[in-house]
Amino acid sequence: MGSVALPDRPLAVGELLDSAADLLRNRAKPLLALGLLLALVEQCALAPLWAARLPFWEEPLSYLPWLACGLGFESLAIGLLTVYAGRAARTALGGTPGGLVGPVLTAVAVAVVTLVAAFLLGAPWFVVYALFGLAVPVAAVDNAAGSIGRSFRLVTAGSLRAGMIRILGYGAWLGIRIAVAAASTTVLDRLFDISDPIVTAGVWVLVNGIAYPALACLDVVLHLENRIRVEGLDIELGRARATGRPVDDVLTPAPAGTGQLPPGPATPNPAFRPPDSYHPPTRMPSDADYPDQPHTPLGRQR
């Protein structure tokens, strides 16, 4: 993996997007390939629900199963991609990736919660997406247990900033996806007289296959930047590299409620030299200490 510009300080929203794009560029082939595969499976799974719907003005609730399952599958796709991107980011920071079972199960759990919340007329879905959506990068990057609860604590400790940026990123990509899909289907219909539903589904596969990896990379860098703001991750990583302490000890926090403090440095850095001790003067200076200066009694200088 090439050099990735992961967050090393608190970043503005634009800088977060740049960092996410850089992570996506460095892992473009596997992320886009997996994103396209997940988007294809999503369209195949949602096709029967879309066909079973009634006209909106007759039965608007007939769209609810399609909408809820679509949001749930989106959450699952983004979560699975976040597992890969998060492990890549942990490696880039100098850590060792953990197991796959925990992060994948976390992605499934968040997707189920999202689906259930979306069935409740969609309103609670935004709360779940903001507060618990970062549980997957917590499991993949931090390699920590209790990732859903830790996601909630980190987001709320950061004054909900990470959750709001996550919703902002999703909304921006939703607008891009709708615009590109609508424009593509219109062009195909007007210029080539192609209006087959399969073609429309193919357009959505391409659009979602790009959007899902981008949102996954945004989740990873957003989680790292939120840890910098809330836990001082950048300072701890700098100390670990200076003292030879394993980076894994910093990236993986101590389990909550254990009362454990972060372990100290493994070995002292031989290049570190403490400053010389301060020795106060043994007497006050006198005129004899300044023979080249005109005689002016100290304390009476003009």
Whole-Å CA distances, 134 to 14, 160, 187, 215, 285: 19, 12, 37, 11, 63
| pLDDT number for residue 193 | 67
User: Is residue 260 pLDDT above 50, yes or no?
Assistant: no
Hey, how many other C-beta atoms are within 10 angstroms of the C-beta on 173? 18
The per-residue pLDDT for range 101-119, each reduced to its tens digit, is 999 999 999 999 999 888 8
Mean pLDDT (the chain, rounded) = 83
pLDDT of residue 134: 92
The pTM is what?
A: 0.81
Indicate if the pLDDT at residue 100 is higher than 50.
yes
| Alpha-carbon distances of 295 from 62, 236, 283, 292, 298, rounded to whole Å | 100, 55, 20, 9, 9
User: Is it the case that residue 94 has pLDDT exceeding 60?
Assistant: yes
The pLDDT tens digits of the residues spanning 61-93 come to 788 888 889 999 999 999 999 999 999 999 999
Confidence of residue 163 (pLDDT cuts 50, 70, 90): very high
Give percent of the chain with pLDDT exceeding 70: 81
138 or 256, which is more confident: 138
